Amino acid sequence: MPEEIKDISKLDDIIARATECRVKRVGDEVKLKFRTKHKLYTIKVPVNEAEAIRARITIPIVDY
């Protein structure tokens, strides 16, 4: 089961361990999905926050 992240401060640790990020736009929100070796983490953020997060991601990004 995926784990939803509520605290953005935990995101830096997860990004460091992730192998891929998937981005799904849902209305006025963006859902970011981070795949690690053992788990899938998701977070829903507004569009402007998503762009800031996306700028610091160094792993491959898949838009769908």
Phi, psi at residue 17, to the nearest 5°? -95, -15
Task: Specify the pLDDT at position 64.
Answer: 84
Domain ranges of the chain: 3-63
Architecture of domain 3-63: 2-Layer Sandwich (3.30)
pLDDT digits (tens, 9 = 90+) for 11-35: 999 999 999 999 999 999 999 999 9
Helices (H), ranges, the chain: 11-17, 47-56
Instruction: Report the alpha-carbon distance of residue 52 to residue 36 in Å, rounded.
Output: 21
Task: Specify the pLDDT at position 59.
Answer: 94
Mean pLDDT, the chain, whole residue set: 95
Task: Determine what percent of the chain is predicted with pLDDT higher than 70.
Answer: 100
pTM (two decimals): 0.91
